[in-house]
Chain A
Amino acid sequence: MQFLYQTVKEIIETGRVGTPVFVRFVVQIMPSGEHILDTLARFLVITGSWLTSIPIKVYVQHRENSAQITASVEYAGGQTAIVSVNIANVISSRIDLMMIGNKGAVYQDGEMMPPGFDVDFEPSSIPEWLMDAIEQSLFAGKPVSIEEVVDLDFD
């Protein structure tokens, strides 16, 4: 995952696709012991890094007793993202990625990924407020603005 992250980052930095505006991740990974919320947060950190922006609103959907979670996110610069993580007992993990810029796009076809592709990637850190926003949206069943989360933390 580190190499995928870095390759996309380098493509963005060349300016070939213009300014990134939308990221769509559909991820299926094997059970690893990591909590699904942490996995989701990791991919949101990656997404934010590519979009060079921070989320302002997060809507997380999850069905009880299922290993699927989806976040629809709005960023400070008007960018958007949909990140879906599914944990399944499968032979190999896969990552489908569509990153759209205002001048082009990057596609990663999950079905083309080699068996054993390493999906692990440890971002520098997962901000506490992001985890709070994910959890609050899940709990409330509605979109949560980061401002509300930060306010709650300080209250």
Chain B
Amino acid sequence: MTLIKSQPYGVLLVSGLMTHQENYADFFLADPRCVLIAVTDEPDVPSRRADLNRKFASKMNLPYIPDLDEALKREDVDIVSVCAEHERRGRIGVKCAKAKKHVYLDKPMACNVADADAIVSAVESTGVKSQVYSMIYSSWAQKAKQAVESNAIGEIIAIHCDILFAKGYTSDAPLGIPRKQDPYPKHFTFIDSKRELRATGVYSVGLIRWITGAEVKTVYGITENYFFAEHLHNDVEDFGILAMRLENDVMATISAGRIGYTSHTSHGPMRVHLVGTKGLMTFDAHKPRIEVYTNEPPWMPPPLNPDDPMGFWNSTYKNSKSKKNWVPISSDQRHNNDVSYFIDCIESDRNSEVSVKDGAAQVEILMAGYISAESGNIVSLPIPRQ
């Protein structure tokens, strides 16, 4: 059964500036099958968030509907793109699914397994389609998946993934202070820092599950503060590692974090190493590439934005030059329009390869990492629902 509509899909945007909606809205806008309807949010959001939402609506030439419930009543809304702060994603995701709207969620999709489970339950009970943003549609990830499926590496034994963001001004934060990890963190939103094991590790965890097609059974995690005083001040990690065992006895490790603007020629190391019975294969987001060196002035980080000192959001880079020494060769490396794949899923009535069920599994693995980092022990999944 296909569900191709005669008119474009109406897209409602929850939250605006200083969220990844800055990117996702452009993805939806670029797809001719979609039309943006409005920006909305919960009616009681702090005034700063409301201001940012209004500014975003104005920038996008869209109305701002200050009450999510009202916005969800609109019949011209088919899809909701949710980029609210992490702590609000659980209830908003549930609300959108219960309103029978397809949901596109920023990652990680929730702050705890209970919220993640609730979103899954709402999506499954209403039959709407869902997708959580990921890197699986990038060409390097697709090639890694093909290497497994085509048996090019033989039977998979291990997978190692490093995705780290070369962003933020590193500081002279003191090193060597033992980090005391909260096993059940509840606060995830700060202007100047993120819990980086979650924020960047979610990509690696998602890729590992998708490439191997296997569930994670155990997690061992370590979180640290290496680079930023801001993270240390907010008691959130700027770096973390996980060592996992998957259900087919595959070993998996990741490193994740934010390591500073000048730590990499491009956006940061992004690699998957697959170890199989036929040997090792590596897949790199920055390959194949052309390297260009000129007499142009060297790249400089964007001016420090007090509203976004770590460079989380696209708008911080709007007047800055991008790093241009490495130019990807494949055209499909330049645009990772995750959204188009989601629209394909809706039109063909099939589930996304990164549905909310997968997003919930990602959340559980990452939360298990925090529990492990606190105790120093291996944590078996599933973890307790709290």
Please measure, in the bound complex, the distance between the C-alpha atom of A100 and the C-alpha atom of B173, giving whole angstroms: 15
Contact with B along A51-74 (1 / 0, CB 8 A): 000000101011100101010101
- CB of A134 closer than 8 Å to a CB of B: no
Contact with A along B4-37 (1 / 0, CB 8 A): 0000000000000000000000000000000000
Tell me whether A61 and B251 are in contact in the complex, defined as CB-CB below 8 angstroms, given that A100-B263, A103-B170, A143-B376 are known contacts: yes
Please measure, in the bound complex, the distance between the C-alpha atom of A100 and the C-alpha atom of B196, giving whole angstroms: 16
Pick the contact of A28 from B177, B277, B280, B377 — CB < 8 Å?
B280
* Cβ-defined contact, A82 with B253, below 8 A: yes
Contact with A along B254-267 (1 / 0, CB 8 A): 01000110111000
Tell me whether A78 and B243 are in contact in the complex, defined as CB-CB below 8 angstroms, given that A59-B220, A84-B158, A88-B279 are known contacts: no
Q: Would you give the shortest CB distance from A31 to chain B, in whole angstroms? A: 12
Q: Would you give the shortest CB distance from A110 to chain B, in whole angstroms? A: 7
List the one stretch of A5-13, A90-98, A124-132 in contact with chain B: A90-98
List the one stretch of A19-27, A41-49, A115-123 in contact with chain B: A19-27
* Cβ-defined contact, A72 with B243, below 8 A: yes
* Cβ-defined contact, B220 with A68, below 8 A: no
* Cβ-defined contact, B175 with A84, below 8 A: no
Pick the contact of B273 from A21, A26, A77, A89 — CB < 8 Å?
A26
Q: Would you give the shortest CB distance from B123 to chain A, in whole angstroms? A: 34
* Cβ-defined contact, B239 with A86, below 8 A: no
- CB of A139 closer than 8 Å to a CB of B: no
Please measure, in the bound complex, the distance between the C-alpha atom of A146 and the C-alpha atom of B278, giving whole angstroms: 34
* Cβ-defined contact, A77 with B160, below 8 A: no
* Cβ-defined contact, A72 with B260, below 8 A: no
* Cβ-defined contact, B264 with A102, below 8 A: no
Please measure, in the bound complex, the distance between the C-alpha atom of A142 and the C-alpha atom of B279, giving whole angstroms: 26
Interface size class of B (residues with CB under 8 A): 35 or more
Interface size class of A (residues with CB under 8 A): 35 or more
- CB of A105 closer than 8 Å to a CB of B: yes
Within 8 A of A (CB), among B357-379: 376-378
Please measure, in the bound complex, the distance between the C-alpha atom of A61 and the C-alpha atom of B241, giving whole angstroms: 14
Please measure, in the bound complex, the distance between the C-alpha atom of A74 and the C-alpha atom of B170, giving whole angstroms: 22
- CB of A111 closer than 8 Å to a CB of B: yes
- CB of B179 closer than 8 Å to a CB of A: yes
* Cβ-defined contact, A100 with B259, below 8 A: yes
In the complex, chain B residues whose CB is within 8 Å of the CB of A15: none
Please measure, in the bound complex, the distance between the C-alpha atom of A142 and the C-alpha atom of B376, giving whole angstroms: 10
Pick the contact of B226 from A21, A68, A89, A142 — CB < 8 Å?
A21
Q: Would you give the shortest CB distance from A20 to chain B, in whole angstroms? A: 10
- CB of B152 closer than 8 Å to a CB of A: no
Contact with A along B267-286 (1 / 0, CB 8 A): 00101010101111010000
In the complex, chain B residues whose CB is within 8 Å of the CB of A107: 264, 269
- CB of B249 closer than 8 Å to a CB of A: yes
Please measure, in the bound complex, the distance between the C-alpha atom of A59 and the C-alpha atom of B244, giving whole angstroms: 11
- CB of B245 closer than 8 Å to a CB of A: yes
* Cβ-defined contact, A105 with B263, below 8 A: yes
Please measure, in the bound complex, the distance between the C-alpha atom of A88 and the C-alpha atom of B176, giving whole angstroms: 37
Tell me whether A98 and B162 are in contact in the complex, defined as CB-CB below 8 angstroms, given that A61-B245, A104-B263, A142-B378 are known contacts: yes
Identify 16 new A-B residue pairs, CB closer than 8 A, beyond the known A18-B170, A68-B275: A21-B226, A26-B160, A59-B243, A63-B157, A70-B243, A72-B222, A72-B243, A77-B175, A82-B160, A84-B158, A84-B253, A100-B226, A102-B226, A105-B269, A142-B378, A143-B220
Task: Sample 17 A-B pairs with CB under 8 A, ordered by A number.
Answer: A22-B241, A24-B162, A24-B255, A26-B280, A59-B220, A61-B251, A63-B250, A66-B277, A72-B222, A78-B177, A78-B224, A80-B222, A80-B241, A96-B282, A100-B263, A105-B259, A142-B377
